[in-house]
Amino acid sequence: MTGRLQPPLGTKLLIAGVALALTGVLSIAALVVQLMLYEPPCEPIAAWDFGGACGVLRLLVLLMLPVLAAGLALLAGGLLLLRRDRRAAPSLPGTDRRSAPEQREARQKPRR
């Protein structure tokens, strides 16, 4: 045991979600750019024809959509877990969420 603190599950999901979503977005963008700049032109760019070089690029775009969807799902799940954990976390003794002036007011002696 190394004794290191493990990040919460929400943080791990958030990191994985950002990585997958970023990978999906960049990959799809690169494939779309290749479709647009391919010679001879791939027209129409969005079609259900998967024959030839243009079809392979279209198929790769479709295959990257689940990566993007998984990344967005993990991102949302991580944010929800972090939000839930933050709400449920008990405040530590000595920590007060009130502003500094409100804390000073609470510490002052009551007036008679």
Mapping DSSP onto H, E and C, the string for the chain reads CCCCCCCCHHHHHHHHHHHHHHHHHHHHHHHHHHHHHCCCCCCCCCCCCCCHHHHHHHHHHHHHHHHHHHHHHHHHHHHHHHHHHHHHCCCCCCCCCCCHHHHHHHHCCCCC
Does a structural domain hold residue 41?
A: yes
Does a structural domain hold residue 63?
A: yes
Does a structural domain hold residue 109?
A: no
Does a structural domain hold residue 17?
A: yes
The pLDDT tens digits for 26-59 are 999 999 999 999 888 888 888 888 888 889 999 9
* Per-residue pLDDT, 64: 96
Does a structural domain hold residue 73?
A: yes
Does a structural domain hold residue 108?
A: no
pTM of the model: 0.69
Domain total in the chain: 1
Question: Per-residue pLDDT averaged across 68-84, rounded?
Answer: 94
* Per-residue pLDDT, 104: 65
Does a structural domain hold residue 96?
A: no
Residue 31 structural domain: 9-88
Does a structural domain hold residue 101?
A: no
